[in-house]
Amino acid sequence: MAGRGGCRRGREQLELERLGEAARAGSCPPSPPLSACSRQAWSRDNPGFEPEEEGGAAAAATAAGPVLEMDVEWGSPAAGASSSLGSGAAGQGGGGRRQQQQQRRLPAGRGVAEGLSRHQVPADGAAPHRAAWAKRLARRLRGLWGTRLMEESNTSRERYLKSVLRELVTCMVFLVVLCVLTYGTVSSSMYYYTRVMSQLFLETPVSKMEKTDFKTLSTMDDFWKFTEGPLLDGLYWEMWYNNKTMAENKSFIYYENLLLGVPRIRQLKVRNGSCSIPEDLKDEIKDCYDVYSVANEDTAPFGLRNGTAWTYTNEKDLNGSSHWGLIATYSGAGYYQDLSRTREVTAVQIASLKKNLWLDRGTRAAFIDFSVYNANINLFCVVRLLVEFPATGGLVTSWQFQPVRLIHYISTFDFFLAACEMAFCLFVLYYMVEEILEIHIHRLHYFRSLWNCLDILIIVLSVVAIGISIYRTSTVDTLLKKLLEDQNSFPNFEPLAYWQMQFNNIAAVTVFFVWIKLFKFVNFNRTMSQLSTTMSRCVKDVIGFAIMFFIIFLAYAQLAYLVFGTQIDDFSTFQDCIFTQFRIILGDFNFTEVEEANRILGPIYFTTFVFFMFFILLNMFLAIINDTYSEVKSDMAQQKAEMELSDLIRKGYNKAMIKLKLKKTTVDDISESLRQGGGKLNFDELRQDLKGKGHTDAEIEAIFTKYDQDGDQELTEHEHQQMRDDLEKEREDLDLDRSSLPRPLSSRSFPRSLDDSEEDEDEDSGHSSRRRGSSSSGVSYEEFQVLMRRVDRMEHSIGSIVSKIDAVIVKLEAMERAKLKRRDVLGRLLDGVTEDERLGRDNEIHREQMERLVREELERWESDDTASQMSHRLGTPLGLNGQPRSRNSRPSSSQSDGIDGGGGNGGNNIHV
């Protein structure tokens, strides 16, 4: 102890001399918080800890939330004065310490000015101060983007989790904003809007005598019946149900949906001779029209050869775009006819097209396009009805009803969405800067993480969505202006609807990936990380299984396509075969169709596919996942327990509850437990009581060990009173610090604010004595804070050690109970042997059985004792009475028999 005290006094003298020399020389090198002597002593007393480097301490002080900063420049005369003041205060009482604190903690707004005026610092000293201020500002701005990838490798676990928690909160807010934006643009009204429009045009019969509707059209004649019947009836609502005329030249479908402009009907054709005819059939077949392709497209005038319906118009002039149909992909060009705003004129136009054979053998697709607007729900509906005429004959129908919201910022909720859009843009900018900083730090290693690539993908998708939204908003105004100028023209909302659908798709994918990103933070929980660890470990096995699975799967798909593709719709294409087989695995299949298509190969295909894919391969996949999960779970059970994100949140919650006086501190809970215990409190009782109130083993062990001075594992009234006195003194010091520091300062910083210090001292009042001792002996705050952090680390590690010791104690208690049970059994067996001898019974067989059981029990006891010696080498276990005993020793035969009152006879029988 004397050596350590001398080392400490020598360290203090060296620190004061170093500070004085630095002040006289005008330089500002950061002094290390501890001398080499103290570091050696620390390492000797705590072999499990590494001495903290100055860089790590500075980094921790920089990022530790709200901080108190000292406005002292080491290179200025003020620093020398401050250091001399600190050395002088070492020999003074509490008043000198308070004066030192007041002199050292100058207000932020006037600290530099008062220092310059008091010590006559030259005017040129303002330039270094401005440079330091700029560095501090840059450091603070960079702190806004502080993430775990920007932390240093030697960062403490708690600080690392704080960075993770800040990322998690930011991601959650971003997710909420994104969900509000996406869900705010979609409502159930869109579904009902689509349903009523589709019922009107798709499910209305072509006539009262026929049940054919648009979905079941089969011939060109059916197409003309549809255009002359349900199409005209659905487009033009000119009369009310009481035959009262509606507004002139305006059609409100369902009396609510305004028909915008006029509808358009367009067709695409292929030229004659686009396919080759066999020589043997050329005399019989004169015309040949190939399947549709852009190369085979017919562009020559036909029929009446006047007007747009009979002459070809290219895609650029029509401002059209390609469309993906069921049979082919069609261009935006063709022959088109704009209909009228009145039913009578439109009927005449359709009759003229039908009469002059507008549709012929070369027609491959006919489009019917129109748009409506519902002011009640502020929605446009862009409708496209497509009729495809394949080269095989007949026709195939398809349709698109796209409800879109093209006019924004009308209602109050729309303006709220506008604010969310601005917040979304700010978040995207924030994440862009964050990723740029991380890429700058880690270079190409940044892209090795899948989570980092996911962050980049989310940013790219967000930027694309913003660009589409800007284009959509700017274009819709121009289109509506043109529509209002000429209401007899066709308003082409198809490009806007297309980009709106793309925007919805991108927004949906972005929301999905942002939700997936939450796993990045959930993985810091020990339980939740089992999923990601399991998936990462079984990747190789799953890839090998997938190769084997898809070889068999594709073989069956090819077989099904060749055998059933010509007769079953679900197997008509190779892609359909793949999806159908996945449905079979999930139990959705139609065995009757397969059997009817091929009475021999159908049942064979179905039976073997279900057997191999469902009963063998699928169970192999589940076995791989189960085995890997078991390994991961066992490995995690053996890993060292670390502070988790939930522990950090729980710690912050407890601090907030204590600060709001909604929850008692550890000392208050101990006081209550002590009053209930009648003046004394056993450690086991205290631990059970405080653990039930939410305190950790580390906190309980730290406080109990500090104030249990006699080491009797009991906390007396006198020891508890000392704890209360230390806490009251600490609170007085904190009140004084709060009154002398009205606001944070600017240059040197402490890792904790006053509120945080008060909360920490409430949890562990052992810091109070160290703090007063450090101040009275002249220890600088830099050294004091470094020691505080190291003590916190030591207490955290001690807590984990205590938890392990508790586990060992529980195991030892279980072993003792088992041994007592065995002794009881042996005692009863030996009593039976003794009773036989006393009564003169000569049952040799019974005696041999008893002796054999005794020997087996003793051998089992020795093997269990050896195993316990190998597995519990942390310390010497305690016996029943709390006395230490050797691990490889076992009780004598007299002791084992004495438990049951057997006496010396039991010992003799054991010897036998």
- Rg, the chain, Cα only: 43
CB proximity list for 120: less than 8 A, separation 6 or greater:
77
Distance of alpha carbon 477 from alpha carbon 491, whole angstroms: 12
CB–CB of 278/291 below 8 Å? no
Q: What are phi and psi of 745, to 5 degrees?
A: -105, -165
Residue 160 CA from chain centroid, whole number = 17
- pLDDT value, residue 753: 40
- pLDDT value, residue 614: 87
Distance of alpha carbon 486 from alpha carbon 488, whole angstroms: 6
From the CB of residue 247, how many other CB atoms can be counted at a distance below 10 Å? 9
Distance of alpha carbon 32 from alpha carbon 153, whole angstroms: 20
From the CB of residue 687, how many other CB atoms can be counted at a distance below 10 Å? 17
- C-alpha torsion sign, points 460, 466, 468, 470: negative
Q: Where are the alpha helices (DSSP H) in 571-665?
A: 574-585, 591-597, 601-609, 618-638, 645-659
Q: Which residue has the tokens 């996949």?
A: 621
Element holding 252 (H helix, E strand)? strand 252-253
Positions of the chain with pLDDT under 70: 1-129, 138-155, 247-249, 523-525, 640-643, 645, 663-682, 686, 691-699, 702-704, 710-713, 715, 727-728, 730-782, 833, 836, 840-843, 845-847, 861, 864-912
| Angular region, 408: left φ>0, alpha ψ -120 to 50, beta rest | beta
Q: Which residue has the tokens 């310490």?
A: 97
Tokens of 643: 């502070």
Distance of alpha carbon 52 from alpha carbon 38, whole angstroms: 12
Tokens of 179: 């969900």
CB–CB of 355/334 below 8 Å? no
Mapping DSSP to helix (H, G, I), strand (E, B) and coil, where does residue 711 land? coil
* CA angle 527–687–874, rounded 5-degree value: 70
Q: Which residue from 740, 804, 737, 799 is spatially nearest to 768, judged by alpha carbons?
A: 737
Element holding 269 (H helix, E strand)? strand 257-269
Distance of alpha carbon 193 from alpha carbon 253, whole angstroms: 12
CB proximity list for 888: less than 8 A, separation 6 or greater:
865, 866, 869
Distance of alpha carbon 316 from alpha carbon 334, whole angstroms: 11
Residue 20 CA from chain centroid, whole number = 52
Distance of alpha carbon 671 from alpha carbon 1, whole angstroms: 33
- pLDDT value, residue 732: 66
The CA distances from residue 309 to 320, 576, 819, in Å, are 16, 38, 102
CB–CB of 812/884 below 8 Å? no
- pLDDT value, residue 496: 84
Distance of alpha carbon 728 from alpha carbon 720, whole angstroms: 13
Q: Which residue has the tokens 């940044």?
A: 446
- pLDDT value, residue 841: 61
- C-alpha torsion sign, points 807, 813, 816, 821: negative
CB proximity list for 798: less than 8 A, separation 6 or greater:
698, 701, 702
From the CB of residue 669, how many other CB atoms can be counted at a distance below 10 Å? 20
- C-alpha torsion sign, points 133, 134, 135, 141: positive
CB–CB of 231/383 below 8 Å? no
CB–CB of 311/335 below 8 Å? yes
CB proximity list for 16: less than 8 A, separation 6 or greater:
83, 86, 87, 778
- pLDDT value, residue 268: 96
- pLDDT value, residue 74: 36
CB–CB of 665/763 below 8 Å? yes
CB–CB of 253/237 below 8 Å? yes
Distance of alpha carbon 165 from alpha carbon 715, whole angstroms: 38
Mapping DSSP to helix (H, G, I), strand (E, B) and coil, where does residue 421 land? helix
Tokens of 785: 């804070």
Q: Please state, rounded to an integer, the average pLDDT across all residues of the chain.
A: 74
CB–CB of 610/603 below 8 Å? no
